[in-house]
Amino acid sequence: MSPKILHANLACIETLLQVPNSVNVHKKKWHTAFVTIYCYRALLSIYQNTVTKKGNIEISLSTSYTAITIKSEIGPFEIEQTSLVQLVKEKNLDQLQQLGGVDRVVSALKTGAEQGISNDDEEIASRREVFGTNTYRKPPTKGFLHYVWEAFQDLTIIILMVCAALSLGFGMKVHGAKEGWIDGLSILVAIFLVIAVSAISNFRQNRQFDNLSKVSNDIQIDVFRGGRRQKISIFEILVGDVICLKIGDQVPADGLFLQGHSLQIDESSMTGESDHVEINHGHNPFLFSGTKVVDGFGRMVVTSVGMNKAWGEMMSQLTRDSNEQTPLQARLDKLTSSIGKVGVTVAFIVLVVLFVRYFTGTTKDENGNQEFIKGKTKLDDVLNSSVEFIAAAVTIVVVAIPEGLPLAVTLTLAYSMKRMMADKAMVRKLSACETMGSATTVCTDKTGTLTMNQMKVTKCWLGKESMEELGGYSSVAPHVIELFREGIALNTTGSVYRPSFGMEYEISGSPTEKAILSWAIEDLYMDMEERKCSILHVEAFNSQKKRSGVLLKRKVDSSVHVHWKGAAEMILAMCESYYDASGIIEDLDESQKLEFQQIIQGMAARSLRCIAFAQSRIQTEEVEDSNGHKTMKEQGLVLLGLVGIKDPCRPGVKKAVEDCQYAGVNVKMITGDNVFTAKAIATECGILRADHDMNEAVIEGEKFRNYTEEERMEKVDRIFVMARSSPFDKLLMVQCLKKKGHVVAVTGDGTNDAPALKEADIGLSMGIQGTEVAKESSDIVILDDNFASVATVLKWGRCVYNNIQKFIQFQLTVNVAALVINFVAAVSAGEVPEEICRYSQIELGAMGNMYWNCFNVVANWVGCQIYSCCREAIFQLFQDQDVLPMEKDHSYERPRIRPTIIFICYYYFLFFIICSVYT
């Protein structure tokens, strides 16, 4: 701004303000301040108008000027967080192209598709500082006073407080200051106990749910860091991380697709659309957090984490409902309401009887004189008697309502959840604790649940000869070994990492992939780093096809080959020839196929999972169909060989199965393995016994699927093993069992198990091998993937039912006895009991009926809550440790009398102690 313009502006300002020439010091100071502020605002306005969005500053000095470009500094990275957030959130392909595509974004984030980010602590800290962490801002947790206030709002508490106010007011008036306060204070003590126990239990339960939520949300994710594939917590993911995705995974953060095959995403959680979205480089490379992988596999680079992710603000507002009410709690609330109505009815009848007897002159005082004489009794005496009658009726209502029952159930469920967590079972839905106690059938997987999921290749066949007969792999033709290496290295979702020469290999992937890769590296000397082929197309493995394939092009001669691997029967049906050990291709006719089937059955009978490998060379013109899509040859293949993978049974599984069977719970195994493997494992685990009819007890999924509905309903109870089953077969069996009246528990670990897990009464997902889709569809997560933990969950479910049944028997005994005694006494004698335990001749004089009933409430609450709150000692006193192995007639549903007697004895013992202290 030129001096002339500035001087002119100042002159205008002086004219507007009418500043005289002779001004005092204070006015001069104000004048100077005003001029300074004006100049500052003028300069700031010029600066803001000339700064462009890209950070370039244009300073106009005259008609000719020089532009100065200033590059904004974004820490150590070359791209802004806001650009990354907008890019993915809006699925802006144009913006992605302006940035230079996915490869340019990866470069700007200083990461790599193969290496990922560095493991260096300084770089990790730098990324956290610039881009943030993968966590949400959580709403503040409710404090203890919140639960105290909630307890105050209970209707029972309000009734008690009204009763306490009446007792204090009229008690002081009737009995004087010396004894009149006793009734009111007793009720206040009862109120304090009720509120304290309710608030403490709800507060502790809320904290427990928060802890369980942290555990359930802590998902382990496969990432590449420093070229090494490793598992890290979802909360440790950073911008720039390269994440491996496979079927069933949940996308942990927003990002861009790097590489993969047949990757399809379920975005219904974000968009509400049920159709699966294909992810590719051309049209849709955008991935959102919270979506699910339903097919294929791939890698992604993380662009946004935490609150910068799509819908981050919405997720930060979501809280888990820790006040979830189970069906049993709802039924008990209804029972409590019904008992309360009965109590109100009895109290009203007692009140009417007392008033009728009083006003008809039937009621007499301690000296035998008539209490009410018409025209002679003072109004003050009538009022005092009326207050006593009303207070007695209110007390009857208070005593009748079993307010401790819902609380005791909540405490029992919360305690059981805590113990189940220690026993490797995380409860996601509170109702599952009690429902599991009613389970009559458990449908379980084989791999990882009944077995250890520690697979190892123990058998290998080339042609019709095993490696033991051939004397080792050195006698096999080199080009056959090379075909094996080629097919295994490229047709896999696993990975191999070797930090340096001479160190042990680190193999990642599914247990089956790890077993095959380990076998190929140790016995076939496969080198994963050596790539002599380029991949054209990949057919990912899924539970319907039970096979995976890869279409590749060799760099040496540009020939195109296809490799398949999968379930032995499936691959064998696709072959028309096979390699023998010397590398000669032999024809595979029906008789030859029969011999191979016998080999497969022999391995399956020894509990081996049989995997077959096949390949074929195809012509270039056969690579694409008429629509330009890549095709993979599925017939006329050459069988390379067979391998048998051993997965030993878990120790303790047989005992757990026997316990379930002894307790009247049927265990059914549903697996994708062939009939012979399934039968061998089921026999080893005790699911199949000698007295079972094998023709009906073992069935294939396809056969069960083809039954009519009537045939399925007739035979489903006699089926104990279903082999070669699909997820639809598992769902079908669950539906049939539920129609038959069974309470069904189902274990599952795959994405396709989600329908069966949701359909079952109790869904049990696997914490180690289970996909995130399976876990979200389940009620309980078995953290160690062990069937013995399933049996433990069943035990705790029955413990909940047993303890609640005992508590109900005790509570109803006390309440019904109190109602009957008060009703009979009021009708027959015209008054409720004036003394505690007349048979012991303990005279309490002026404490009266309110004192008796109030201490009834206090003793009831104290006794019940002590029994419910003591974590180890007293709780174990009435908890049956042998609750699972019970009679097959389901006698566990009948309450047992021994603990109830102990409970009632303790109640009266505590009652007399309190009475003796006050007397």
Residue whose C-alpha is closest to residue 433's, from 886, 762, 717? 762
In whole angstroms, give the CA distance from residue 783 to residue 492.
27
Q: Where are the alpha helices (DSSP H) in 277-326?
A: 312-316
Residue 533: both structure tokens together = 């082929």
Tell me the β-bridge partners of 508. 495
> What are the residues whose beta carbons fall under 8 Å from the beta carbon of 806, sequence distance 6 or more?
878, 895, 896, 899, 900, 903
Residue 644: both structure tokens together = 């048998």
The label of the residue with tokens 């502020």 reads 37
> What are the residues whose beta carbons fall under 8 Å from the beta carbon of 691, sequence distance 6 or more?
none
- Say which of 222, 254, 445, 779 is annotated catalytic: 445
Which secondary structure element, helix H or strand E, spans residue 1, and what is its range? Answer: none
In whole angstroms, give the CA distance from residue 351 to residue 636.
93
Contact predicate 626/588, CB 8 Å = no
Report the 10 Å Cβ neighbour count for 890: 13
DSSP letter (8 states) at residue 225:
E
Residue 648: both structure tokens together = 């030993």
In whole angstroms, give the CA distance from residue 319 to residue 444.
32
In whole angstroms, give the CA distance from residue 609 to residue 676.
10
Residue 499: both structure tokens together = 């930090």
In whole angstroms, give the CA distance from residue 577 to residue 575.
6
Report the 10 Å Cβ neighbour count for 612: 26
DSSP for 552-573 reads EEETTT--EEEEEEEEHHHHHH
Which secondary structure element, helix H or strand E, spans residue 510, and what is its range? Answer: none
Q: How far apart are the first and last CA of the chain?
A: 96
Contact predicate 704/724, CB 8 Å = no
List C-alpha distances in Å: 565 to 191, 236, 272, 540.
70, 35, 36, 11
In whole angstroms, give the CA distance from residue 510 to residue 498.
18
Residue 269: both structure tokens together = 């959680």
Which secondary structure element, helix H or strand E, spans residue 694, and what is its range? Answer: helix 694-697
Q: At what angle do helices 787-829 and 653-662 cross, to 10 degrees?
A: 30
DSSP letter (8 states) at residue 476:
S
Tell me the β-bridge partners of 425. 782
Give backbone dihedrals phi and psi of 156, rounded to 5 degrees, phi first.
-60, -40
List C-alpha distances in Å: 426 to 765, 783, 804.
10, 7, 21
In whole angstroms, give the CA distance from residue 284 to residue 277.
9
Contact predicate 183/202, CB 8 Å = no
In whole angstroms, give the CA distance from residue 724 to residue 701.
6
List C-alpha distances in Å: 362 to 359, 368, 376, 835, 850.
8, 11, 15, 21, 22
The label of the residue with tokens 């189902």 reads 746
> What are the residues whose beta carbons fall under 8 Å from the beta carbon of 518, sequence distance 6 or more?
456, 457, 505, 507
Q: Is 445 a catalytic residue?
A: yes
Give backbone dihedrals phi and psi of 609, rounded to 5 degrees, phi first.
-85, 125
For residues 792-814, b (16+ Cβ closer than 10 Å) or e, as one string?
bbbbbbbbbbbbbbbbbbbbeeb
Residue whose C-alpha is closest to residue 773's, from 299, 291, 300, 320? 291
Catalytic residue set: 445
